[in-house]
Amino acid sequence: MATLNTKFKLNTGSEIPAVGFGTWQDKDAQEDAVLEALKAGYRHIDTARIYGTEPAVGKAIKESGVPRRDLFITTKLWNNSFHPDDVEPAIDASLEDLGLDYLDLYLMHWPSPFARGGELMPKDSNGKMKTGDTNYVETYKAMEKVLKAGKTKAIGISNFSRAELERLLKETTVVPAVHQLELHPWLQQKDFVEFNKSKGIHITQYSPFGNQNEVYDSGKNMGKLIEDPTLTEIGKKYGKNGAQVALAWGIAQGHSVIPKSKTPARIRANLEGDFKLEPADLQKINSVDKQLRFNDPSGSFGWDFYTDLDGKKK
């Protein structure tokens, strides 16, 4: 299969495969999809507590027979487990569901706390989210402890603003190994990307196909990013489609990308998005930035996200 199998070095010294397999949504299809991905050659799998897909990922890993040392497994701490006393039980529960002794990467999914307890989305009688009072700095310090205990080889963050990240860096000890955020040719966030890199933080791009995901209402009354004429035109030159070009653009920036699919042919095609684009083509893609952000749950999470970043709707 034509894939470069690119890897990037994290600030821990470990390597992260450039193309990962995302497991958000389609919970019941994930065991087969992850198994298909592992058979196709993926070695980086991305899940999260809130996805409900950790057990399926665990089963697929076991069934695949791929040695644990060859895999890079990421999961994420959910907002209801922000209290420092809840972080270790949360990672233990994830490890148990995944059938693993350790994670390669444990991310704080959002900087926003929900009320403590077993409910993932705790709401009051009016259907409004019950927020928590633990600050993400305290949560991260508890994550530093599970890192020290060997339960994960790296820790990181997801969906932070610049101000939130600056505060985290100032008040904690371990620089995040990874920042996972929405990033694609229509939301390139060059300044923020540079800021993360200047601190030694690797970027993983989620939703690398932008508004391909039906869950994003704001992306519906427009064309699809993966059909952007600039991407499809460039793709013809390499025998690739717009989706593969979007992935190659991300990898060319030094980022890992985590496309998701449950279709075997598409699962394999996404892995082939790891190819080299010529500088002139990268320049063309750099010019299609529309500062379009599709994932912003500020209204429902009780927290104002991305206040100082591109694509924030005023």
Active site residues per annotation: 51
**Segments of the chain assigned E as strands:** 7-9, 15-17, 21-22, 44-46, 72-77, 105-108, 155-158, 178-182, 202-206, 256-257
What per-residue string of b and e applies to 228-251 under the rule 16 or more CB within 10 Å gives b?
bebbeebbeebebbbbbbbbbbbb
Identify the CA nearest to 271 among candidates 285, 280, 254, 259: 259
**Amino acid at residue number 261:** S
Distance CA 180, CA 258 (A): 10
For residue 57, give both structure tokens: 């990922």
